[in-house]
Structure 1
């Protein structure tokens, strides 16, 4: 049965970040928006408490000493916690973002995330938490809109290749690749490349 979320105050967010400044500033901002927030200084302490926590959205730092964000993500799956995860990182790192999204993350944001963008992402996360997530059929339908050449370009993008490398492999110009990328974003109804990746991985589930 889907969970009905009446407002922000019924939503619980777990912030897992070893940076005290980030934890405090993010929690203050989210509490001001009406969310319930719990903070954790590292992945190990969060995982230890996870079995006793209620359904949550997780704001998860990618790089932490000891248990890093990707390992926390894997452990949550092992615990049977299908909670939506939003990764936070100090830099945009395509390989890590691909791995995170491939394993079910909702989004991959670069710190400091703008409040409006973070809240928009959390709305998506809680919508996912409140339903049985199975978007594979819809994702496959979206991918079917792509032309064969657009599909080739997308494959290169998913592998993390730069436009010039994709252009060389396909025998086209980098500008043509960029044009195909714009069409891919539009056909997949994506506002960011992270959403494109999410669609690809949902389709392959």
Structure 2
């Protein structure tokens, strides 16, 4: 099955609205009414991303995320959360989730995040298909870009990176932009996921 967005939400109205929205932007999707339904369809070779409601009847989105981690899932996961679920979603991001979006969400912003997640998965598959290793990816970077990258991946802000490397904040911004461009990513999360995928090669 071709890469697509997998929508997992027990609210039929949200599933229908999201499916329509994605279709209007040319994004293929498959909707599932429960975590259990998705698990019945899941296999390690499917492509795309997962859009997952964090609270559902039966197996919750958080429980499904943990189950998929145990199964070695590599698909980027975007959580849909209510306001009270934000701490849980932040914890999931620290465990490797791609992003979370609060309800009620801005339609176009959500689709933009889904498209970004699909691009990350496509790059990961391309890297895996080419057998490109983490060392090969890092070979593209200058020494200074690698130093900036390590601090970015550690979650440090540009000002802190500038202080630690004794360079200006503007210089950090330039190095950060160049390393993201060379790696083909737009965010630190995407960079971490790309390197994690390359580790498998």
TM more than 0.5? yes
For 1:63 and 1:51, locate their aligned partners in 2 and report how far apart those are by CA, in whole Å: 15
Which of 42, 45, 49 is matched with 2:37 structurally? 49
CA distance in 2, matches of 1:94, 1:179: 28
- The answer as to whether partners of 2:145 and 2:176 remain within 8 angstroms in 1 is yes
Give the SS at the match of 1:146.
coil
Deviation at 1:181, TM superposition (A): 0.2
- Flag structure 1 segments of 5+ consecutive residues without an equivalent: 6-10, 102-106
Residue 186 (structure 1) shift: 2.1
**What TM-score, normalized by structure 1, do the two folds share?**
0.63
The yes-or-no answer on 1:24 pairing with 2:16 is yes
Per-residue Cα deviation, 1:56-110 (whole angstroms, up to 9, x for no partner) = 54523374478444x42330243x474623414578x887545326xxxxx5475
Is the Cα contact below 8 Å between 1:136 and 1:204 reproduced in 2?
A: no
Residue 100 to residue 126, structure 1, CA distance change in 2 (3 Å): same
Whether the aligned pair in 2 keeps the contact of 1:60 and 1:88 (CA below 8 Å) is yes
> In structure 2, what is the Cα distance between the partners aligned to 1:167 and 1:149?
12
CA RMSD across the alignment: 4.0
Which consecutive residues of structure 2, in runs of 5 or more, have no partner in the other structure?
none
Q: Which residue of 1 aligns with 2:114?
A: 118
